[in-house]
Amino acid sequence: MTSEEIYSKLEPIIKTYLPEDVSAKEVNRKSDLTRELNINSAHLVDIVLDIEDVFNIEFKNEDMERLRNVNDAISLIQQKTSA
């Protein structure tokens, strides 16, 4: 699966959990999930659960620690789906 295919499935998941003060237009591949997009830790867990469901993968605790921006999520998904 290409990074573009992953991003096309990932972007709507992330947009679902954006707080009201963040525009969906601000989401891009370099967006920091917690700093720039203001996604709180509870919603970050929801995003991970949705990613696991959509891509049929499982994240471990160490994966969560590496999940800072959208590109990190794409890389992790690529690693998990190609394994």
Question: Which residues, including other chains, have CB under 8 Å from residue 14's CB and lie 6 or more apart?
Answer: 27, 33, 37, 39, 47, 70
Q: Which residues contact 55 (CB under 8 A, 6 or more apart)?
A: 6, 9, 77, 80, 81
State which fold the 3-82 domain adopts: 1.10.1200
Check pLDDT > 80 for residue 83: no
Q: Where are the domains of the chain?
A: 3-82
> What pLDDT, on the 0 to 100 scale, is given for residue 10?
98
Please tell me the distance from the alpha carbon of residue 62 to that of residue 4, in angstroms, as a whole number.
24
Mean pLDDT of 3-9: 97
Tokens of 32: 């920091």
Higher pLDDT residue, 48 or 83? 48
